[in-house]
Amino acid sequence: MSYDLYLRDPVTGECLEIPGHLMHGANIPCEMITDEFGKQQLVPTTSTEAYINVTYNYSEYYHGAFPGASSNPENQARYEKDCVKYGITDPSGGIRSLNGLSGAKAIPVLQEMIRRIEKKYKDVEGWIHTEREKVWYTSKKNPAVKKDPNDMFIEYLHLKRDGLTDEQADQHLNERWERHEGKELVCEGETGDYWKATAANAIRPLYQLIAVSQLRPDGVWSEES
């Protein structure tokens, strides 16, 4: 699951073109190439679309910065102030706060989102550590082999692609893997794993969105998951 963010022409609604770039997220445009030995492989390729895809894994950080409309009085008051200051019209909050904003008007929203995330997850010594629930899986045949939930989801999709029903796929995974729960201490500055929910990972796409907005300030942002 992910956010699909397009910067569109305000008249035609078409996704705008920008110079070729490698600002990729959860979805990566690729092309098939054949090396000198005849082996084929997929490699990332440049794109000219004013489009960024961002995993939902970062949603907690975006909604923490811009909560949107809420039953919580404090968050609701904050949302109303943000609407007045930044021209936000989407009540969803989070990254969807960009919906309907021009590239030019989106830039201060993105900059403020970065500032608020850093304020919450940094101290005088840098990125803080936070404790969170952790789920992982171990192979029933070889407990030393581990997988995280994202790996399991991909395996589940492969089983579905091979024709298994939801029940059959779940049964197959349950027969092979054992689920575990615990706690882990995570550095909010980690960026080694794109899929991991950390503050630093969540901020990186925001800088990409700023760059696209600067290239086409006349466009209008639209999140279309």
Using an 8 Å Cβ cutoff, are 16 and 50 in contact? Answer: yes
> Rounded CA gap, 72 and 82, in Å?
15
Q: What is the pLDDT confidence band of residue 177, given thresholds at 50, 70 and 90?
A: very high
| pLDDT at residue 205 tops 90 | yes
pTM of the model: 0.81
User: For the chain, what is the mean pLDDT?
Assistant: 92
Q: Quote the percentage of the chain above a pLDDT of 70.
A: 100
Does residue 119 sit in the same domain as residue 48?
yes
Both 96 and 138 in a single domain? no
**Domain range for residue 211?**
2-126+191-223
Whether residues 83 and 40 fall in one domain: yes
How many separate domains does the chain show?
A: 2
Pairwise CA distance, residues 181 & 77, whole Å: 37
- CA–CA distance, 191 with 205 (Å, rounded to integer): 12
Same structural domain, 79 and 161: no
Averaged pLDDT for residues 84-96: 96
> Hey, CA dihedral for 213, 101, 57, 29, is it positive or negative?
negative
What does the pLDDT read at residue 1?
76
Cα dist from 92 to 66, 119, 156, 185, 223, whole Å: 9, 22, 30, 30, 11
pLDDT band at 7 (very low <50, low <70, confident <90, very high): very high
Closest CA to 143 of 177, 172, 167, 117: 177
Pairing type for strands 129-139 and 40-44 reads unpaired
Q: What angle do CA 147, 203, 183 make, to 5 degrees?
A: 35
**Average pLDDT of span 105-126:** 97
Q: Closest by alpha carbon to 147, among 133, 134, 160, 165?
A: 134
3-class SS of residue 47? strand
The predicted structure's pLDDT at residue 218: 96
Average pLDDT of span 184-190: 95
Co-location of 155 and 63 in the same domain: no
Q: Are residues 42 and 74 in the same domain?
A: yes
**Which residue would you say has higher pLDDT here, 47 or 66?**
66
Biggest CA-to-CA distance, the chain: 64
Tokens representing 187 are 């550095």
Q: Please report which confidence band the pLDDT of residue 36 belongs to, taking 50, 70 and 90 as the band edges.
A: confident
Q: Are residues 15 and 85 in the same domain?
A: yes
Retrieve residue 113's tokens: 């989102």
